[in-house]
Amino acid sequence: MAISVRIPTPLRKLTDGKAEVDAAGSTIQELFDNLESQHAGIKEKVFDDEGEIRRFIIVSLNGEDVRYIDGAATSVSDGDEITIVPAIAGGV
């Protein structure tokens, strides 16, 4: 089962410049474990040492912040859209 994950520009250096990558798993946690095996380094950009989503990153499932669903344990299934949205400071 492949679910597409949108990668924000700052993290694309970890995905060979790809804006969208496929990953497998039935929860957000599993999805990122699988992503990590394909693109080493991406997990620590999104999760902290306690396995929580970092406080300056939003992971959204079909447009909803997973923090307000079940966090890392949120279930995902085929056809879902996962988007990683980081805080960006730039304006100049």
Please report, as a single letter, which amino acid is at residue 68: Y
Which of 6-14, 25-33, 34-42, 70-78 is the region at the interface with another protein (rule: CB under 8 A)?
A: 6-14
Instruction: Identify the bridge partners of residue 26 per DSSP, sorted by sequence position.
Output: none
Tell which residue, 18, 17, 5, has the closest CA to residue 85: 5
Among 2, 64, 70, 77, binds another protein (CB under 8 A): 64
Do 60 and 85 meet the contact criterion of CB atoms below 8 Å apart? Answer: yes
Would you count residue 65 as binding another protein (CB under 8 A)?
yes
Do 20 and 6 meet the contact criterion of CB atoms below 8 Å apart? Answer: yes
**Closest distance of CB 5 from another protein, Å:** 14
Catalog residues that contact another protein under the rule CB under 8 A.
8-10, 19, 45, 54-58, 60, 63-65, 68, 83, 85-92
